[in-house]
Chains A and B, each alone.
Chain A
Amino acid sequence: MTGFLAAIGRGTARWLGRVGLLARFAFEAFASIGTLPGAGRRVAARVLLNQLRFTALEAVGLIILLSGVLSYLTISSTIAQLDKVGASELIGKLMVVAIVRELGPLLTAIAVVGRSGTAITAELATNTVLGEVRALKGMGIDPYHYLVLPRIFGCVVSVITLMVLFDVIALLGGYLAAGLFAGMSGARYLGIVLANLTTQDVVLTVFKGLLFGAVIGVIPAYEGLAVRRGPTEIPQAVIRGTVHSLGMIFVLAAIIVGVLVR
């Protein structure tokens, strides 16, 4: 029994230690904004633009596909049931609550973790293994400025942008599907959706974009820069970065529903 409790204690201490290191990393990264030199801002801005291209622009196709298919599946599978009980008006509420508020941000974040979170971990781990991070520090360039901050801000801006795109495509998909499957006029569908869409939904979407984007920027960067032994550790770092990011995003989504959405 004592051994069992000790094992739990060791595991908890190890987990808390990792959380502490991650928190310190995130704090140092954000605190480093204040020390970014003027000339460094221009270089960091160029890295940020690159990150936006990889994370946002090149993900547009995937987000359109995911969003279109999700709205098609949601409407085609629910409209008939709602019709049977004379509640087809609820399709607007369903689209707003299920897709705009919950699934849109979550699926967008999952897609960005899969595309860019993994790439960030692999890239920074490779930078570390090849001695590039040490060389940057030796040259007087803060790796937080050159490697970490552009990726965090790139992820935040990208996730917010892609979430908005996801919601717009989902609602447009719903517009088409409502006409096809329920014979609902476009004007009526839009009227129902807009009546159910509140300012809180828009604010929550942006807030989730901020949080999820920061998670996708910070955790994969942390795991990539934690590589110590060599190239064989890179795949493990990518797995850790992906799993921990996804876990954190789901936990945050649950907390937001529990605390902010009433």
Chain B
Amino acid sequence: MTPLLAFLEVGVSRAARTTMSSLPVVSTEPDTMLSLEVAPHQTVAVLGDETSGVDALGGLALGLERPLTGRVLTLGTEIATLERSGQLAFRRRVGYLPAGDGLMQNLTLRDNIRLPLRFGSDFRPREIEGRVDVIVAQLRLTRVADLRPAQANAEDRRRAALARALAFDPELVVLEEPFDGLTDRAAAELLEAARGGETAEGARRTVFLTGPDLPALLRPRVDRTVRMARGRVEEVR
């Protein structure tokens, strides 16, 4: 089965991220070589501390950064090699929950969820509202949907960030440190929402997540766990 996400001999280093106003950082040597395939319907976790380079994997999967060596194929395409507008259009096919939520602070949680749909789809306003209402209800955000991120608690912010990532109902979801600071129960609910229910082949959506660790309660729900440390990549199970 063709993997939805593939890291092919990718050199990973803990390089500083570039900003829009600066030149790309030219990193020297990769710290770790990673080869990993994420098959459809699988939930795969790559774990490691901040020195392992694991926090770079989400950006590599979305083509936000280019790998030092090797290739990253997302839905069969090397996003980083597309031209700018092609990259942006392609990323709408992948759900992305960045580390630290990345919610727009000047918008309500509901407006944050609306934003990708209003900006990147041809849906009519009523269709967008209908879709947003469904996602808000699914992620149990109805009570807090009209709050701004600063007024909501960490759990609701994370739910809203995941709701935004799922707005286009993507086949593949990339989650960066999704469970940071959450209780095991909240983390389990979040993972289930990201997986989108069960099918005969496994989860409805393919989930690729990174972070320092995985709550014990979630380990049975993850198909593959890989740990990166001190330049080594080990399959945990």
Contacts and interface: CB of A to CB of B under 8 A. Distances in A.
A227 B19 CA distance: 7
Given A141-B116, A142-B84, A131 B99 contact: yes
Given A35-B84, A130-B100, A132-B102, A141 B21 contact: no
Interface in A227-245: 227-228
Interface in A104-132: 126-128, 130-132
B19 A225 contact: yes
A139 B91 contact: yes
B98 interface: yes
Contact of A134 (B22, B64, B116): B64
B92 interface: yes
Interface residues of B, number: 37
Interface stretch (A36-44, A168-176, A202-210): A36-44
B88 interface: yes
Contact of A139 (B58, B105, B164): B164
B235 interface: no
A166 interface: no
Interface in B174-203: none
Interface string A41-85: 011000000000000000000000000000000000000000000
Nearest to A125: B19
Given A42-B118, A43-B118, A137-B88, A143 B105 contact: no
Interface centre among A21, A138, A145 (most CB of B within 10 A): A138
A146 interface: yes
Contacts, number: 108
A135 B104 CA distance: 9
A134 B23 contact: no
Nearest to B164: A139
A234 to B, nearest CB: 13
Nearest to B89: A140
A87 to B, nearest CB: 52
B102 A25 contact: no
B103 A141 contact: no
Contacts of A134: 17, 59, 64, 98, 102
Given A130-B102, A138-B91, A141-B116, A21 B22 contact: yes
B102 A141 contact: no
A226 interface: yes
Interface in B87-143: 88-92, 96, 98-105, 115-116, 118-122
A177 interface: no
Interface in A182-199: none
A222 B19 CA distance: 10
A143 B20 contact: yes
Contacts of A21: 21-23
B127 to A, nearest CB: 12
Nearest to B114: A43
Interface of A: 21-22, 25, 32, 35, 37-40, 42-43, 126-128, 130-146, 222-223, 225-228
Interface of B: 16-17, 19-23, 58-59, 62, 64, 84-85, 88-92, 96, 98-105, 115-116, 118-122, 161, 164-165
Given A22-B21, A132-B103, A135-B98, 19 more contacts: A25-B21, A130-B100, A131-B98, A132-B104, A132-B105, A133-B19, A134-B102, A135-B103, A135-B104, A138-B62, A138-B96, A139-B116, A141-B115, A141-B119, A141-B120, A142-B84, A226-B19, A228-B16, A228-B22
Nearest 10 interchain pairs by C-beta: A135-B102, A226-B21, A140-B92, A138-B96, A140-B91, A35-B85, A131-B102, A225-B20, A139-B116, A140-B88
